[in-house]
Chains A and B, each alone.
Chain A
Amino acid sequence: MSERPRLRVTIDGTLPLAIQPAAADVDALPPAGPGESVTELAPSAQDRAHGRRRFEVLVGGWRFEAVVEPAQQAALRERAARAVAGQQAHAAISLRAQIPGRVVRLWVAEGEQVEQGQRLLAIEAMKMENEIRAPQAGVVRDLRVNLEQKVERGDELLSVG
């Protein structure tokens, strides 16, 4: 079997979310069941230019628009955006868990100086790791979680500032 490129799926809205599962993991996921449906939406010219595809997904009465694109391309675009944003001083930003899960990686300690975009910790939920990075350069404060700790959505993790 030939190597399939990893995909990035982003969902916008009230509680934005992104995943980047390995192809094998995607294959293992259960298909759409009752009350779930997926429709591909017509791509815009910009979507086509960037190789993005757009899906409407209905789950449990919620409607989501998901954008799917090659992961490498998304990473390049984000790096460029970070470079533009530059290094500016910001007030402390408090980070909360966006999904419930378990802290499986912790790369920083209280009081540590971090750069913008630096990896802080990762939360695993439903076989997916969600890595959390520093939104800005600063010092890690109020670190409230340990490795293997379970977190609920909305739990405070730490702040950077």
Chain B
Amino acid sequence: MTRRAVGAGVVSLRKDSERRGPPFERVLVANRGEIALRIIRACHELGSQAVAVYSDADERSRHVRAADQSMRIGPAAPAESYLRVDAIVDAALQSEAQAVHPGYGFLSERAELAEACAEAGLVFVGPGPETLRGLGDKLAARATAAAAGVPIVPGTLEPLAVPGDDEDRLRAEARRIGWPLLIKAAGGGGGRGMRRVDSPTELGAALAAAAREAAAAFGDRAVYLERYVERARHVEVQLLGDGRGEIVALGERDCSVQRRHQKLVEEAPAPGLTADQRSTLHELAMRVARGAGLSNAATAEFLLTPDTDFWFLEVNARLQVEHGVTELVADVDLVHEQLWLAAGRPLSERVRAAAAAAAEPRRHAIEVRVSAEDPAADFAPAPGTIGLWREPGGPGVRLDSGVEEGSPVTTDYDPLLAKLLVSAADRPAALARMRRALAEFEIGGLQTTLSFHRWLLEQPDFVTGEGLATDLVSRSWQPAAVLPPAALRAAELAAKAAAAWSPAPAAGAPASDTHDTAAERWWRQGVAESLERRP
């Protein structure tokens, strides 16, 4: 993709004060939910108009109302709306937008959208299609990193298909890599097509399952192998590039609190690293970025081993869900910067200064992802309608959400409802602030991950930072230990309410009525008839 070149060569000497007027008059935001709203806010702050797109399910959602203009792009199913390159480009052309911001997820890392934008004379806010293609191929990214002298997680370097001729080679490679290991989809990410294998006897079945999942999710059954590092942490580096070879690292994030390879909590900086270790990590990330010819914003992900080795995992060539924690620590608005960079401006003085200070951060930020999921049921999606929505506030609290009371939450889309972020002078103060903010946050109508986060903020492994590892959740989350006292208290509060309040008027909408069968469960019969006999 050709970018608007603004006086190539001398450009990098320009000062921030030359950023007059908006980077674009009108920007189409090719996403939904909290990230669409977050990008629309950035557009408005820069003086740009924002165009929203929406599926039939989102017609009345917050991001649509916040935009200056909105365009319907299809039915609720993502494949018929938010994943349609042609519909997005048409909407951008019809609304006379100059640029398309893809957010994260959906089409954000699809080279096809970047290409279609370029062909239509639109600026794609993100890396060029070649870079997206190169980095989207996880194995090519591993090869790029290895070529740049960056350590990668030990494993295979080429895609191998199962079932098929490659199976014998995979078995041989697996023996070489050792146990436990991970099978990963060559074409994907987000935990799909990923399988942990602990012993040779499990390998055959795991390979078949991973290949099936990969084929279903990414249309490609090729997989590769990586060593599984026990007690490893997940750290990642925020990168910005001007597309002319200048690349900076804006600090790192720790995203070790995960379940099924999906992040639940992120923080910046990564706890427990020295300034030298930070510098090393940032330098490794910049090397990968240079090797990949990165422009705009991206994130390089690494494993941090118990021996404090950084092993490259992959690059996400887009804005990350968790970009906010970096913004709070670096005092930089990454979406502003993305738009300026896409408009052909150089990296700003503010960004350079933040990058120069990134190894010795002076603030700490934490984000928790509040999703419509039931932490007591292995984080199963918990769709519904938001009945009650009481947001936390006060000093140092930022809430990025795209929902409100009455918002339907369906299984068509990601269950993420809101990102609650806090920042403070140091990690203990940030933890205290997060505890306080979580206590203020009340969501009704559906189960969310708030209960999990409240538990996590009390766990010594997390609070000290010493137990941070990608298996922290699977190792220690036991909802059975925290749910019963809460249920008992809830029953008491319901009894109190029933005793104190006169019955609700016989109103219209009937509540769900699924309790009869369950109410007959045997042990409920055991509810203290004896209580009646108590003095």
Contacting pair B508 A42 (CB below 8 A) = yes
Q: Quick one: which of B362-415 are within 8 Å of A by CB?
A: 374, 376-377, 387-388
Q: Quick one: which of A116-161 are within 8 Å of B by CB?
A: 117, 119, 122, 125-126, 128-133, 135-136, 153-154
Contacting pair A153 B480 (CB below 8 A) = yes
Residues of B within 8 A of A45 (CB): 510
A55 to B479 CA separation, bound complex (whole angstroms):
22
The count of residues in chain B whose C-beta lies closer than 8 Å to any C-beta of chain A is 73
Interface membership of B487, Cβ < 8 A:
yes
Contacting pair B447 A63 (CB below 8 A) = yes
Q: Quick one: which of B60-110 are within 8 Å of A by CB?
A: none
Contacting pair B487 A64 (CB below 8 A) = yes
Contacting pair A59 B493 (CB below 8 A) = yes
Contact of A57 among B450, B480, B493, B519 (CB under 8 A): B493
Given contacts A57-B490, A100-B484, contact A130 B446 (CB under 8 A): no
Interface membership of A109, Cβ < 8 A:
no
Contacting pair A135 B518 (CB below 8 A) = no
Contacting pair A15 B376 (CB below 8 A) = yes
Produce 1/0 per residue, A32-76, CB < 8 A to B. 101111111111111110000111111111111111100100110
Given contacts A16-B524, A29-B492, contact A10 B519 (CB under 8 A): yes
Residues of A within 8 A of B429 (CB): none
Contacting pair A11 B510 (CB below 8 A) = no
Contacting pair A16 B507 (CB below 8 A) = no
A129 to B484 CA separation, bound complex (whole angstroms):
15
Q: Quick one: which of A9-35 are within 8 Å of B by CB?
A: 9-23, 26-27, 29, 31-32, 34-35
Contacting pair B388 A37 (CB below 8 A) = yes
Interface membership of B172, Cβ < 8 A:
no
Contacting pair A128 B488 (CB below 8 A) = yes
Contact of B495 among A15, A26, A59 (CB under 8 A): A26
Interface membership of B147, Cβ < 8 A:
no
Interface membership of A99, Cβ < 8 A:
yes
Contacting pair A11 B504 (CB below 8 A) = no
Interface membership of A8, Cβ < 8 A:
yes
B interface, over-half SS: helix
Contacting pair B492 A10 (CB below 8 A) = no
In the complex, identify which listed stretch (B239-247, B286-294, B333-341, B436-444) lies at the interface while the others stay far away: B436-444
Contacting pair B495 A9 (CB below 8 A) = yes
Contact of A47 among B440, B483, B511 (CB under 8 A): B511
Contacting pair A60 B482 (CB below 8 A) = yes
Contacting pair B439 A34 (CB below 8 A) = yes
Interface membership of B481, Cβ < 8 A:
yes
Interface membership of B120, Cβ < 8 A:
no
Distance (whole angstroms) from the CB of B531 to the closest CB of chain A: 5
In the complex, identify which listed stretch (B24-32, B451-459, B469-477) lies at the interface while the others stay far away: B451-459
The count of residues in chain A whose C-beta lies closer than 8 Å to any C-beta of chain B is 82
Residues of A within 8 A of B527 (CB): 8, 18-20, 130-131
Produce 1/0 per residue, B288-329, CB < 8 A to A. 000000000000000000000000000000000000000000
Interface membership of B190, Cβ < 8 A:
no
Contacting pair A61 B452 (CB below 8 A) = yes
Given contacts A7-B498, A36-B493, A62-B447, contact A128 B506 (CB under 8 A): no
A40 to B513 CA separation, bound complex (whole angstroms):
14
Residues of A within 8 A of B482 (CB): 60
Contact of A67 among B483, B519, B525, B534 (CB under 8 A): B519
Contacting pair B480 A154 (CB below 8 A) = yes
Contacting pair A54 B484 (CB below 8 A) = no
Residues of B within 8 A of A10 (CB): 491, 515, 519, 524
Residues of B within 8 A of A68 (CB): 494-495, 497-498
Interface membership of B10, Cβ < 8 A:
no
Contacting pair B496 A122 (CB below 8 A) = no
Residues of B within 8 A of A105 (CB): 530
Interface membership of B526, Cβ < 8 A:
yes
Residues of A within 8 A of B525 (CB): 78, 82, 117, 133
Distance (whole angstroms) from the CB of B356 to the closest CB of chain A: 40
Distance (whole angstroms) from the CB of A34 to the closest CB of chain B: 6
Residues of B within 8 A of A18 (CB): 491, 524, 527
Distance (whole angstroms) from the CB of B479 to the closest CB of chain A: 7
A131 to B529 CA separation, bound complex (whole angstroms):
8
Given contacts A66-B490, A122-B528, contact A26 B499 (CB under 8 A): yes
Instruction: Look across to chain B and name the residue whose beta carbon is closest to the beta carbon of A50.
Output: B516
Contact of A17 among B374, B491, B498 (CB under 8 A): B491
Interface membership of B48, Cβ < 8 A:
no
Instruction: Look across to chain B and name the residue whose beta carbon is closest to the beta carbon of A132.
Output: B526
A65 to B519 CA separation, bound complex (whole angstroms):
13
Interface membership of B503, Cβ < 8 A:
yes
Residues of A within 8 A of B492 (CB): 9, 19, 21, 26, 29, 126
Residues of A within 8 A of B479 (CB): 14
Residues of B within 8 A of A60 (CB): 451, 454, 482, 486, 489
Given contacts A6-B532, A13-B376, contact A67 B487 (CB under 8 A): no
Given contacts A14-B374, A68-B494, contact A129 B530 (CB under 8 A): yes
Distance (whole angstroms) from the CB of B492 to the closest CB of chain A: 5
Contacting pair A43 B504 (CB below 8 A) = yes
Given contacts A14-B479, A16-B524, A27-B499, contact A62 B451 (CB under 8 A): yes
Contacting pair B487 A15 (CB below 8 A) = yes
Interface membership of A89, Cβ < 8 A:
no
Contacting pair B510 A131 (CB below 8 A) = no
Instruction: Look across to chain A and name the residue whose beta carbon is closest to the beta carbon of B518.
Output: A12
Interface membership of A1, Cβ < 8 A:
no
Instruction: Look across to chain B and name the residue whose beta carbon is closest to the beta carbon of A29.
Output: B492
Interface membership of B521, Cβ < 8 A:
yes
A29 to B450 CA separation, bound complex (whole angstroms):
25
Interface membership of B509, Cβ < 8 A:
yes
Residues of A within 8 A of B498 (CB): 7, 9, 53, 55, 68
Per CB-CB distance, the 6 closest pairs between chain A and chain B, nearest first, are: A61-B451, A61-B450, A66-B494, A44-B510, A57-B490, A135-B522
